[in-house]
Amino acid sequence: MRDPASPPPRRRAAACALALLALAAAAWPPARAGDDLRALAARKHGRIVALEVLIRSVDAAIPGRLLAAELEEDDGVPIYELRWQLADGRRLEIEIDARDGSWLKLEGRRLETAFRRPPAAAPAAPR
């Protein structure tokens, strides 16, 4: 028989889950404001392409939506790492050189079906 003073098992499990989430959140490294300020300064001085411009460029080639974006440095080269979701739920990882917008890496399943098809050419007029 259960002690009437103790909480029900479900409530106890929920309290444990909340405590674990609170611990995980406290241990998670916070975003560094300095990183955002450096990115903003680099964009302002023309050293990197605006993320919004790159998102439009990716969307023009691959229909979908942005899930997450990070600005990283790889051997001193600023690189945007994008996580992109297609309409069918597939997810892609795209790395773009932040200096000029060139695509460096594209990973995902069935990539050959991810890109937009160019519009069909109009039939030639008979002579």
Tell me, what CATH number does 97's domain have?
A: 3.10.450.40
- Confidence class of residue 20 from pLDDT cuts 50, 70 and 90? very low
Average pLDDT over residues 104-109: 90
Top pLDDT among 108 and 24 is at 108
* Count: domains in the chain: 1
Does residue 5 belong to any structural domain of this protein?
no
Contact between 94 and 102 under an 8 Å Cβ cutoff? The reply is no
Which one, of 87, 73, 82, lies nearest residue 105 by Cα? 82
Q: For residue 63, what are the domain limits?
A: 33-112
Does residue 25 belong to any structural domain of this protein?
no
Sequence-ordered list of residues with C-beta below 8 angstroms from that of 115, at least 6 positions apart, any chain: 61, 62
Interatomic CA distance for residues 92 and 109, integer angstroms: 8
Express each pLDDT in 53-104 by its tens digit: 999 999 998 889 999 999 998 898 999 999 999 989 999 999 999 999 999 9
**3-state SS, residue 104:** strand
